[in-house]
Structure 1
Amino acid sequence: MGRKTKVALTVGAVGAASVAAWAASKVVAKPIPREDKEALNFDKPVVLAYHGGHLEAPENTLAAFSKAAELGVHGFAVDIRLTKDEEIIVFHDEFADRTTDFSGKITDYTLSELKKADAGYRFEDEAGHYPYRGLGEKIVTLRELLEQFPHMLIAINLKDSPDTYEGSLMPSKLWGLLNELDAEDRVAVTGSYDEQTDRFNLYAQNRVATGAGDGEVKKAYAAFTSKLGHLYNPRADLFRVSEKLGVFPLGTENFIHFLKRLNVRVYFEDVTEQDSLIKLLSIGASGFITDRPAMVMKIIQEHIGE
């Protein structure tokens, strides 16, 4: 027997063994779907106003949240930060001058100091005017948002890195507030850092819906595109993603259904084109996080119904 024949036989044997191992794993592996979370149980696609819909009113203000609620949205997607005195506020950027007349980091100020800021100061309408300046719009705490809108789903994004002081405190602070307000069944806690969400879940013990971080999304997509998707067990109840992860398409029917079979909802962000919204609706998107809630609500009503 020649060398080439021996090599061919060896390669063939390895290939056959790999196929056999894969087939065996298909029989043995039993992916475990996520348990139902009441917060995410909707019959139709969900619309969450991003920061309250910040293209239509000053972001993260009661004006924005109230305006979005009047449209009939299902809830809001917000970022949270800690103040100097460790109160949780609804705010996107780490710097106060992002939307107010204050300057410096959020953590430089106590809640009472931040409440003096004009939270509508930087909002500019299409005509170039600042219609909310001086109207008394204030920074909103997460407590106030939960109490003001008890019927709404709130997707809470943990912005701070787990390596920061604020990030180290936030999971326990957030759990304490949700537990105090009995709000576990009307929020979803998300964030880019899987480690941060895991820390929160040490307190919540799977009683709160959680979202996938960047690492979990990549892990799920890698499993989906390989032949080992049957080995993937999700660590989150919700994926909030864009249509693409770099060059890789996430807004496909097969990927959405791959996650749905595991009882994982997929909410899409940053979708601004009407055709894209309609396509995602048709292939099973569970929801949308948008700064244009009026437009998205109109499209859903036209294609899904009330």
Structure 2
Amino acid sequence: MGRKTKMALTVGAAGVAAWAASKVVAKPQPRPRKEALEFEDPVVLSHRGGMSSTPEHTMAAFSNSAELGVHGFAVDIRLTKDEEIVLFHDETADRTTDFSGRISDYTIDELKKADAGYMFEDDNGHFPFRGKGEKIISLRELLTAYPHMLIAINLKDSPDTYEGSLMPSKLWRLLEEMESEERVIVMSAFDEQTDRFNLYAQNRVAIGAGNDEVKKAYASFSSKFGHLYNPRADLFCITEKMGPFPMNSENFINFLSNLNVAVYYTHINDKDTFEKLLISGAAGFITDKPALAMEVIQQNS
């Protein structure tokens, strides 16, 4: 037996020994249960209110999807010039309203003058919501209008911006004031943002995983050291794939579920995919087509 072969066997044996030792010592800590995620049936959250049929983040959208019986909404939030939290996806107002410029350059009163249905186009190329009074709304307004709905709140402002630096504390104060801690999920693509929010919330609010946490979990799952993974989030809101890596397997869902981490899938808008993920054990969906999602879940319940 050559020297290189002996060395490879020695390294391999050491790796096996380390893995075996870690299995004995490691005690993964499941996430404590959060009331916001305690549902018996798969959850349907309309994405920005259900943006395939109504202007996103408007009362028309939320009202329409609420009538379908959805469990709640998934919304994006940004901070205005006067530090109010509004529901808005893009950094600028151009794509959905008749305004232009950054959201953070306007006060909430100024934004209320925008036509939030201006850019919504239906399948026939018409603009049915222009001039119909749809307004940009605040998170406070949504929480007040739908006090029993689950709200997944996505912090859009980067932590490196002025608005992003203020958002975690501003959001916590609003949720605490409105006693909404147990009916929201707070998430961000930036794990730093949810970490900072949780400094205020102290684990009283369900937290969604950011991009880095999702990558960390998948790396642990796909290695032999998944037993060393301790989640820092209560919910994974993920697409079916992250880059080249599949996130939709039953084994991956079970890996997270065993740690008391719920798995919701987003950007799911066709019947076959809904049904496939339901069979795999998905706990919920964030969708542009809430009517279809509710229909599929009812048919498979």
Q: TM-score range by the shorter chain?
A: over 0.9
**Residue type matched to 1:68 in 2?**
S
Report what 1:228 is aligned to.
Answer: 225
Identity of counterpart residues, as a percentage?
68
Counterpart-to-counterpart distance in 2, 1:168 and 1:243: 31
Q: CA deviation at 1:16?
A: 1.7
Q: CA RMSD in A?
A: 1.0
Distance 2:4 2:98 in 1: 73
Partner of 2:295: 298
2:191 aligns with 194
Q: Deviations over 1:165-211 (max 9, x none)?
A: 01000000000000000000000001100011101001001100000
Q: TM-score of the superposition, structure 2-length normalised?
A: 0.98
User: What is the number of residues matched between the two proteins?
Assistant: 301
Aligned partner of residue 98 in structure 1, secondary structure: coil
The residue identity in structure 2 corresponding to 1:38 is E
**Amino acid of the residue matched to residue 17 of structure 2?**
A
- Is contact 2:181-2:204 (8 Å) kept? yes
1:138 aligns with 2:135: yes
Aligned partners of 2:269 and 2:288 also within 8 Å: no
Cα deviation, 1:200-251, whole Å, max 9, x if unaligned, reads: 0010011000000000000000000000000000000000000011111100
Matched with 2:148 is 151
Q: Which residue of 1 aligns with 2:176?
A: 179
- The 1:171–1:5 alpha-carbon spacing in structure 2 relative to 1, beyond 3 Å, is same
Give the gaps of 5 or more residues in structure 2. Answer: none
Q: 1:6 to 1:129 in 2, by over 3 A?
A: closer
Following the alignment from structure 2 to structure 1, what is the Cα–Cα distance between the partners of residues 238 and 11?
38
| CA–CA separation in structure 2 for the residues paired with 1:9 and 1:137 | 73
Question: For residues 110 and 18 of structure 2, what CA distance do their matches in structure 1 show?
Answer: 63
Distance between the aligned counterparts of 2:56 and 2:21, measured in 1? 53
> Which residue pairs with 2:74 in the alignment?
77
Alpha-carbon shift at residue 9 of structure 1 (Å):
3.4
Instruction: Give the Cα–Cα distance (whole angstroms) in 1 for the partners of residues 103 and 158 of structure 2.
Output: 15
State how far apart, in whole Å, the 2-side matches of 1:6 and 1:255 are.
39
- The counterpart of 1:31, out of the listed 28, 31, 39, is 28
User: Is the CA contact 2:117–2:134 (under 8 Å) kept in the aligned structure 1?
Assistant: yes
SS of residue in 2 equivalent to 1:81: strand
